[in-house]
Structure 1
Amino acid sequence: MSTLVTVDWLVLAPALAPVLGVVLVLVGDAVSPARRGGRWALPVAAVVLVAGAVLALRGSLLDPATPLRTLCLPAPDGACLWTAGPRTSTLQAGVLLAAAAALAVHHDARPRLRDTTVTATLLLAATTGGVAVAAARDLGTWLVALELATVPAVALVVLRGTRAAAHGGLSLLVTSLASFALLVLGAGLWLTATGDAAFSPESVAAAWADPERRAVLVLAVTALVSGVGFKLSLVPFHAWTPQAYATTDLGTTLFLAAASKLSAAAALLVVVEALVGSAGSVVVVLLGLPAAASLLLGTVVALRQDDAVRLLAWSTIAQAGWVVVPLTALSSDGLRASAGYVLTYAAATAVAFGVLARTGARSLAATRGLLRRDPLAGGALALALLVLAGLPPGVVGLVVKVLAVAAPVAEGVWPVAAAAVVAVVLGIAVYLRWVAVLVARPGEGDEPAHEGSRARSTTVVVVLGTAVLLVTSALPHALLGGLG
């Protein structure tokens, strides 16, 4: 009988790809230190991430009943600490591609970067954590990977070197420390309640059946949801988001808004997946209250924003609520709907920030008439906003919203569904207000500093992101079919 943990390197490849990128970037910088700040670090990192995404997509084509597994313990336990089914693999690919998009935006802004090698290394390290947390099925790996996805992002925010960036980074650091404390507490309570260091549905079911252990498990879920809520920008753990987004460069903002949110959502899905079939109404309330609060507060405050980045920051808070809404159903359909929603949101948000980076616009007024002056940028931004609003031709946004509401409705969680319906109406006002600015006739002084001719990598991000939104709007099953 084998006494060794089995390791399948190909299954681990999506997480190992950014690690390889870190090695290549650091070795290259050590060999040619004179080329610090040169052109090679960011493209090499981006290529490695795209390769990792291709490897991750291999798992999205598998039968959900036969996921990719590795780091399996010997019999009789036989538990596997790394499990990547279609949903997990697709989320891993999303994290890797979102990080590659952020690197592309950084590449066009490299004359303003303090150090491209440091930027690439930090982003690759955070991506490693984001990919790993999606597949982690034991408390230790899940906790360490989630923090690895967060701490380098704090450094990325302050790397800009301005006073405002330092304030944004400090806000993110404080919330990150609070989040980590809650996560450690939650992990300890989870282990106490279940007697298992893994996210095992069987252990959860046994703990839930015992009234005394159930109380401890509820406390564990409360702490874990709160800890992940900081990273997902759920209300009331959202305060850092507008500050951090508005004070850092757009490449880092894109990473925080897309890749980091995919990582946080994937971490939350791991926890909720273990609760499906066992947990009751208490957990529904723990998920439903922050979801409803995020939907309503994020959307209402976004209505008042004239700064484009802050509007998207508050939109992120509202969209975090949408990610959690289907999870209140505590069902497999809810897990699938949540994964589909966060992937759609990440693609649309990456396009929106890509357009802002390409045009140099930071306010809504600076995008007035953009659809007339720059049809590529204006059309891509309009489509991204319509996807976020759930309006045609952004059909995929409508589909994922319907699925997100259908999951709690099917389980009778009507208050959360009602809050989602109200948020839909308010959200239409938020995004159509910006679309109206895009199609308006440009006035004198409205045109932003246009950087399109110099932003070739960012233009590729905008074009590919728009293509993804168009394809998934025409064929929603192309996205949802790969989520199990």
Structure 2
Amino acid sequence: MIQATLAQVAPQIPEIPWGALSPELVLFGAGIIVLLLETAGETRVRVGSLGFVLTVAAAATWFVLTEQIVGPSLLAVAALVVLGLTVLFRLRPRVLSAVLSALGLTATLGVIAWQWIVTSAEGRLLGSELQPEQVLADTIAVDGIALFTRITVCLAALIAIPLGYQYLEDRRMHRGEYYPLLIFAAVGMNLLASAQDLIMVFISIEILSLALYIMTGFAKRDLRSQEGAFKYFLLGAFSSAILLYGIALAYGVAGSTNVAAVGAAMSAADAPTGLTLAALAFLIVGLAFKTALVPFHMWTPDVYQGAPTPVTGFMAAATKAAAFAAFLRLFSGAFAGLEWSWVPVLWTLAALTMIVGAVLAVVQDDVKRMLAYSAVAHAGYALIGIVAVNRDGVSGVLFYLLAYAIMSLGAFGVLAMLEQRQRKAISIADLRGFGKRYPVPAGMLALFLLSLAGIPGTAGFMGKLAVFRAGVAGGQWTLVVIGVVSSVIAAYFYVRVIRAMFMEDEPEELAELPLQTTLGTTTALTATSAAVVVLGILPTVLVDVAGQATLIAGIG
């Protein structure tokens, strides 16, 4: 009797879904390794050797307990690679951190590809659309939205590493914590993309936000960087409080914070209308801050201008992708039955965001502030896919965010090179004649700007076409027309920059300033340029993958 009672009250060890969480675990492990080796200083080889011994022992234990060979072998190989790189770059810690971070992100992309293949194969075996797998007490969903967004985030972080290396060196702020912060921000974004519980949404946002606050203020001697970090922190904390209040109201309606349960409770006939609308309103405001929707975009220009330019590129690309993934999971998924309540609100926000973002970008002289307001306008374009409330809208948003991540990172990458050359923030006047002296990087910047404008033959055009087509299919004709008008306005300030580069004469004081390039920067910019062209001419593969993501996510 006593033994039976003890058995009933004894805590049960939860089964952790290692496979489902493997991208975050690999990425987090890479961040911890880089952080430990950085803090080890001159003893990093000893620390690496100790880590190698412990990891091999853990792999051996894993093999003995489970009789699996693949996982332990990969773990042992990874430990050997880390030790070898630590010995090779023991006198160059920044290079070691950059290489290990890039390898960690590459391994994470490989794990995500494995998850995608397995998930898609299971769907085919079932002969129907696969319902999203929910793990870790239904707080994490392994579905198409999560997998596709994880790819976007990891690619953005991977590109940001070579773009930031030489920039940080020249600005004399290349400190070891940069790479762990970049990885931990990516971990938070990955968790946000797969969060199936409102508490997990909040936790994920805090993880990525804390890392980005520090990275924004990374230039300690730059007052604009410190100002941007301070504003980002204050407004970020304010938006998090609003989001948390919305989560509390949602819990009051549903008695649960699970996204599906909250959606079902709010859609029920006996749901309290006032409390439901209040919860939706606070959730929209909280996420609108993170996606920089008007009028919740006030932090964007100062933060984008003040942050180190590679950080700005990563922030613009990856944060937007992760936050919109949460938008999709909540409103295109759980709250789809309540579209009568939130579609008019998001419609208004999308219209305001597209017009205000484009109009304010026209009057900017600083290129980073111009791209900041451009990012605001692009958030409005992406929102059209959510307002459409159909499957094409979801796939269109996923594809659009990937295309935007590539072209915005490329634009900020070229801008970072220019800042290294002129040792100051870049205005449009500073770009005069740049294309005549350096036609290749100027041509790349022109390509990225044309893609951001949505010119045919570029990734930006195909992204806008995808969300506009979904909007038309969803009956949102007026919103699509507003998007087209906003795109026409935006074309002016993009072409204005191109005109300054290729049709005006270079100032004499800039003629003798050299443009420094590195192999990493050149490779990253070449890859992003090629991706912009390929996705603009042959987008079918990724469009189909984005469409498959909606099937895996079970979105109707």
Query: TM-score of the superposition, structure 2-length normalised?
Result: 0.80
Moved more, 127-136 or 414-423: 414-423
Which residue number corresponds to residue 245 of structure 2? 185
Which residue number corresponds to residue 455 of structure 2? 391
Between Structure 1 and Structure 2, whose CA radius of gyration is higher?
Answer: 2
Moved more, 34-43 or 211-220: 34-43
Which residue number corresponds to residue 81 of structure 1? 139
Equivalent residue for 2:160, pick from 93, 102, 120: 102
Amino acid at match of 2:30: G
Which residue number corresponds to residue 77 of structure 1? none
**1:87·1:482 contact (CA, 8 Å) conserved in 2?**
no
User: Aligned runs of 1:322-471 on 2, under 5 Å?
Assistant: 322-360=381-419, 362-394=426-458, 396-445=459-508, 447=510, 452-471=515-534
**1:196·1:203 contact (CA, 8 Å) conserved in 2?**
yes
Partner Cα distance (2:514, 2:242) in 1: 43
Partner Cα distance (2:391, 2:12) in 1: 34
Q: Is 1:93 aligned with 2:102?
A: no
Deviations 1:332-381 (A, max 9, x none): 22221112211111111000001111233622233334333323312221
Amino acid at match of 2:237: L
Query: CA offset at residue 100 of structure 1?
Result: 2.0
Which residue number corresponds to residue 137 of structure 1? 196
Partner Cα distance (1:247, 1:367) in 2: 20
Aligned-partner SS, 2:543: helix
**1:8·1:70 contact (CA, 8 Å) conserved in 2?**
no
Which residue number corresponds to residue 258 of structure 2? 198
Which residue number corresponds to residue 113 of structure 2? 57
CA separation of 1:267 and 1:446: change in aligned 2, threshold 3 A: farther
Equivalent residue for 1:173, pick from 201, 216, 233: 233
User: Aligned runs of 1:18-57 on 2, under 5 Å?
Assistant: 18-33=27-42, 38-57=94-113
Partner Cα distance (1:374, 1:165) in 2: 29
Aligned-partner SS, 1:40: helix
Deviations 1:86-126 (A, max 9, x none): 33212111111111222222211233343522111221111
**1:105·1:251 contact (CA, 8 Å) conserved in 2?**
yes
**1:42·1:116 contact (CA, 8 Å) conserved in 2?**
no
Aligned-partner SS, 1:172: helix
Equivalent residue for 1:228, pick from 268, 281, 287: 287
Which residue number corresponds to residue 360 of structure 2? 301
Aligned-partner SS, 1:116: coil
CA separation of 1:67 and 1:468: change in aligned 2, threshold 3 A: farther
CA separation of 1:255 and 1:271: change in aligned 2, threshold 3 A: same
Partner Cα distance (2:404, 2:274) in 1: 35
Aligned-partner SS, 1:412: coil
**1:14·1:52 contact (CA, 8 Å) conserved in 2?**
yes
Partner Cα distance (1:45, 1:57) in 2: 18
Q: Is 1:14 aligned with 2:56?
A: no
Query: TM-score of the superposition, structure 1-length normalised?
Result: 0.91
Aligned-partner SS, 2:139: strand
**2:218·2:308 contact (CA, 8 Å) conserved in 1?**
no
Partner Cα distance (1:7, 1:470) in 2: 42
Partner Cα distance (1:451, 1:7) in 2: 54
Query: CA offset at residue 451 of structure 1?
Result: 6.2
Aligned-partner SS, 1:83: strand
Deviations 1:181-240 (A, max 9, x none): 01111111222223332111x652442232543432222221111111111111111111
Query: CA offset at residue 177 of structure 1?
Result: 0.7
Partner Cα distance (1:266, 1:448) in 2: 45
Query: CA offset at residue 148 of structure 1?
Result: 0.8
**1:204·1:275 contact (CA, 8 Å) conserved in 2?**
yes
Query: CA offset at residue 153 of structure 1?
Result: 0.4
Amino acid at match of 2:113: L
Aligned-partner SS, 1:117: coil
Moved more, 220-229 or 291-300: 220-229
Unaligned runs of 5+ in 1: 74-79
**1:15·1:132 contact (CA, 8 Å) conserved in 2?**
yes
Amino acid at match of 2:434: L
Partner Cα distance (2:496, 2:315) in 1: 24
**1:129·1:148 contact (CA, 8 Å) conserved in 2?**
yes
CA separation of 1:295 and 1:351: change in aligned 2, threshold 3 A: same
Moved more, 184-193 or 368-377: 368-377
CA separation of 1:278 and 1:438: change in aligned 2, threshold 3 A: same
**2:145·2:325 contact (CA, 8 Å) conserved in 1?**
no
Unaligned runs of 5+ in 2: 1-10, 44-90, 124-128, 549-556
Residues matched between the structures, number:
475
Aligned-partner SS, 1:32: helix
**1:125·1:148 contact (CA, 8 Å) conserved in 2?**
yes
Alignment RMSD, CA only?
A: 2.4
Which residue number corresponds to residue 214 of structure 2? 155
Partner Cα distance (2:508, 2:289) in 1: 39
Partner Cα distance (2:356, 2:427) in 1: 21
**2:433·2:507 contact (CA, 8 Å) conserved in 1?**
no
Aligned-partner SS, 2:375: helix
Amino acid at match of 1:313: A
Query: CA offset at residue 22 of structure 1?
Result: 1.8
Amino acid at match of 2:467: A
Amino acid at match of 1:442: D
Moved more, 32-41 or 233-242: 32-41
Which residue number corresponds to residue 76 of structure 1? none
**1:126·1:148 contact (CA, 8 Å) conserved in 2?**
yes
Amino acid at match of 2:164: H
Equivalent residue for 1:481, pick from 537, 541, 544: 544
Partner Cα distance (2:204, 2:377) in 1: 25
Aligned-partner SS, 1:337: helix
Partner Cα distance (1:70, 1:451) in 2: 54
Partner Cα distance (1:244, 1:277) in 2: 33
Deviations 1:19-60 (A, max 9, x none): 112211122123325869643222221221122123223444
